[in-house]
A and B are shown apart, each in its own frame.
Chain A
Amino acid sequence: GQNIDQPTEMTATEGAIVQINCTYQTSGFNGLFWYQQHAGEAPTFLSYNVLDGLEEKGRFSSFLSRSKGYSYLLLKELQMKDSASYLCAVSPRGGTYKYIFGTGTRLKVLA
């Protein structure tokens, strides 16, 4: 089957660094995506990994290891506005590019 696992909740302090992990088992692999979702709003695109390694984008970085079926999202210099759910999604194959989503990790940033 297809499965994507993430922790349900995490808490961190303003200014700190947090790492949100994602493990996946899918029938194919055409890329892994991280989205941010504030309550009641649409997912907004953060990052995309298709090759192993680290992709850095400002305060956000994402890492992928295809052999381990593992990714993480690293958020640095946390701000209160980073309190949101972070969704890990895998596109199992090209052609349709559909996503399979994990349940999301609800991050709470405390002052």
Chain B
Amino acid sequence: EPEVTQTPSHQVTQMGQEVILRCVPISNHLYFYWYRQILGQKVEFLVSFYNNEISEKSEIFDDQFSVERPDGSNFTLKIRSTKLEDSAMYFCASSVEATQYFGPGTRLLVL
């Protein structure tokens, strides 16, 4: 069964450094998403992406964040200058329409 994959599974970085989180959505899906989950808290929407552009973003998704689909398979989330409060699990998801399928997540720790 096709699934969403994410790399790396864990990332440790220093405050102020740039990180790129990578995702390979399910191949025939059209909509792509990033969510984050701070430890012990709820899953929060960051951004949705369709037809090679951002379709919606949350207040969390400020100028430090960007997304890209550099080729036909990858979908990336870049955080330009990480802050301590960016430490969280980041989930990528994809969908044909409403039902989303989530990747295993990247656990980001900012020191």
Contact = CB atoms under 8 A, between A and B. Distances in A.
Interface of A: 30-31, 33, 35, 40-45, 48, 50, 87, 89, 91, 94-104
Interface majority SS on A: helix, strand, loop or mixed? loop
Contacts, number: 61
Interface residues of B, number: 24
Contacts of B81: none
Interface of B: 31, 33, 35, 41-45, 48, 50, 55-56, 89, 91, 95, 97-105
B102 A43 contact: yes
B48 A97 contact: yes
Contacts of B104: 41-42
Given A42-B104, A43-B91, A97 B97 contact: yes
A60 to B, nearest CB: 15
A91 B45 CA distance: 11
